[in-house]
Amino acid sequence: AQTVTQSQPEMSVQEAETVTLSCTYDTSESDYYLFWYKQPPSRQMILVIRQEAYKQQNATENRFSVNFQKAAKSFSLKISDSQLGDAAMYFCAYRSANNNNDMRFGAGTRLTVKP
């Protein structure tokens, strides 16, 4: 079974600085998707960034980028120029390319941004 591990329950970053959130996963499949979701106190899960496993190039969305290491099964999120609005729970998630498969989430990392 696929599992997702986030080893950092909490992280803190100074405003305007850079922070990296870690995620590892376990799978025997070759075709899958990886995601980082943000969950602010409003509770709604918001997609931050997505990576298709067949793509070697790391995904980037404005201040957010990932370091995808397929062989190591690692998928870290880098947030540059951190803003107060980035404070939230961040969840790493895995989903098989099989349409019937569910999305597996890690336990989350609580990010605090200090002014």
Interaction site with other proteins (CB under 8 A): 4, 32-33, 35, 37, 42-47, 50, 52, 91, 95, 97, 99-108
- Residue 16 or 47: the one with the smaller Cβ distance to other proteins is 47
The rounded distance, in Å, linking the Cα atoms of 33 and 50 is 7
Q: What angle do CA 50, 67, 90 make, to 5 degrees?
A: 55
Among residues 44, 37, 39, 42, which one has the least CA distance to residue 23?
Answer: 37
Least Cβ distance, residue 114 to other proteins (angstroms) = 22
- Residue 30 or 42: the one with the smaller Cβ distance to other proteins is 42
Q: What angle do CA 51, 110, 43 make, to 5 degrees?
A: 80
The rounded distance, in Å, linking the Cα atoms of 14 and 25 is 28
Least Cβ distance, residue 6 to other proteins (angstroms) = 8
- Residue 73 or 95: the one with the smaller Cβ distance to other proteins is 95
Least Cβ distance, residue 13 to other proteins (angstroms) = 21
